[in-house]
Amino acid sequence: MLSRVAENLFWIARYIERAESTARLLDVNYYATLEGGNLVQEQWSPLLVITGGEDAFREQHARADAKSVPFWLAFDLYNPSSIRSTLTQARENARALRERISSEMWECINKAYHELCFDTDAVLQNDALHDYCNRVRDTSHLFFGTALSTLLRDEGWQFLRLGQLIERADNLLRILQVRYQKTGTSEIAEALENHRWMALLKTVSAYEAYRKRYHTRLEPQNIAEFLLLDSTFPRSVIYAIEGIRDSLKKLPNAQKIQKETNWLLARLEHSQVHEILSKDALEEILEDVNDVGAMVQSTYFHLNA
């Protein structure tokens, strides 16, 4: 398979997964702030930390509030990770390999581009953010679902999976990093804490699944365990790493990356969740995930003649 095509598939998956991840984050937080009143006004800054690019945000916007942050995360073309930017990028990438992906996959992303990347001013004005975020999420599901049933299971499929899973693990780890930073802020009411953990779970579509798994109250440590180490939950970190391992098995010349991935997986499998949370291991895991991403790039995409 052409290196350029492999790289494009990898990135198209990352962009779409990122668009979905941002849409979830935004959707849940936007509506969570409505109920919490003034107490949750400081909910907006963490979103910038999670998605990165806080400095770039400050250059464009004076304050992080309920107007500027949603605009930045969803529509601002100055933000390379905004939903609009990532969908546009994904569509550009898809256009460059439209002969390679199935026509259904192309149509899905092309249609989303036309419907979600233009005339976006009206979305916030008309209180249509929830609907918008849902459509972004649906696009991602439709795209990957279509890939699941139409794309040849050749190398291209593996690169698409790698991109999706690396991005998914990366996004979740960033969210966890921020959410588990400040513990013991005792002045905040318990109800609010509960509200926040619920928001976290909903952000990664884990609320219902968590409830089925743990029949207790929203316990931060259980939540972390579920999101990090439960390999039956398809958006957990360990599920993503296992998927990365499986995809690498199907690719040539992957020994080095496989070693790195297996090592990461072994550490996760043999860790207790409190160890990960207490020893700042989240940062380490995030770095390792990104190392795997970098190794995929250097092994397959940037070879010289």
Partner 1 sequence: MFDHYNPTGFFDEMYDSNNQARVHYQRILERMNGIPKPEFERRRAASDLTFRNQGITFTVYGDSQGTERTFPFDPVPRIIPAAEWAHLERGLTQRVLALNAFLRDIYGEQAILRDNVMPRELVISCSNFRREVFGLKLPLGVYTHIVGSDLVRNERGEYLVLEDNLRTPSGVSYVLANRTALTRTLPGLFAGMNVRPVQHYTTLLLEMLQSLSPRENPTVVVLTPGMYNSAYFEHAFLAQQMGVELVEGRDLFVADNRVWMRTTTGRAQVDVIYRRLDDDFLDPVAFRADSALGVPGLLEVYRQGRVALANAVGAGVADDKAVYAYVPKMIEYYLGEKPILGNVPTLLGWDKDHLEQMLAKPAELVFKAVGEAGGYGMLVGPASTNAEITAYLENVRVNPRNYIAQPVIPLSRHPTYYPDSGKMEACHIDLRPYILCGEKVNIIPGGLTRVALKRGSLVVNSSQGGGSKDTWVLEDDTSSSPTQGGT
Q: What is the dihedral of CA 59, 62, 67, 69, to 10 degrees?
A: 40
For residues 250 to 269, the per-residue mask of contacts with partner 1, x marking binding by CB under 8 A and - elsewhere, is -xxx----------------
Among residues 64, 73, 97, 105, the one that binds partner 1 under rule CB under 8 A: 97
Q: Should residue 96 be labelled a site residue for partner 1 when binding is judged by CB under 8 A?
A: yes
Q: Which is nearer to partner 1, 104 or 260 (CB)?
A: 104
Q: Which is nearer to partner 1, 4 or 58 (CB)?
A: 4
Q: Should residue 10 be labelled a site residue for partner 1 when binding is judged by CB under 8 A?
A: no
CA-based torsion, 232, 233, 234, 235: positive or negative: negative
CA–CA dist 54, 282 (Å, integer): 20
Among residues 2, 77, 128, 148, the one that binds partner 1 under rule CB under 8 A: 2
For residues 110 to 149, the per-residue mask of contacts with partner 1, x marking binding by CB under 8 A and - elsewhere, is xx--x-----------------------------------
Q: Should residue 98 be labelled a site residue for partner 1 when binding is judged by CB under 8 A?
A: yes
Q: Should residue 303 be labelled a site residue for partner 1 when binding is judged by CB under 8 A?
A: yes
Q: Should residue 4 be labelled a site residue for partner 1 when binding is judged by CB under 8 A?
A: yes
Q: What is the dihedral of CA 180, 182, 185, 191, to 10 degrees?
A: -40
Between the CA of residue 18 and those of 15, 175, 205, 251, 305, what are the distances in Å? 5, 13, 14, 24, 32
Q: Which is nearer to partner 1, 216 or 253 (CB)?
A: 253
Q: How many CB atoms lie within 10 A of CB 154?
A: 10
CA–CA dist 210, 206 (Å, integer): 6
Q: Should residue 185 be labelled a site residue for partner 1 when binding is judged by CB under 8 A?
A: no
Q: Which is nearer to partner 1, 159 or 239 (CB)?
A: 159
Measured in whole angstroms, the distance separating CA 84 from the mean position of its chain's CA atoms is: 15
Give the total of residues touching partner 1 (CB under 8 A). Answer: 26
Q: Should residue 103 be labelled a site residue for partner 1 when binding is judged by CB under 8 A?
A: yes
The position carrying tokens 């509200």 is: 195
Give every CB contact of residue 98 below 8 A, 6+ residues apart in sequence: 106
- Of the candidates 164, 171, 169, 163, which has an alpha carbon nearest to the alpha carbon of residue 300? 163
Shortest Cβ 257–partner 1 spacing (Å): 13
List residues near partner 1 by CB under 8 A: 1-6, 92, 95-100, 103, 106-107, 110-111, 114, 155, 251-253, 300, 303, 305
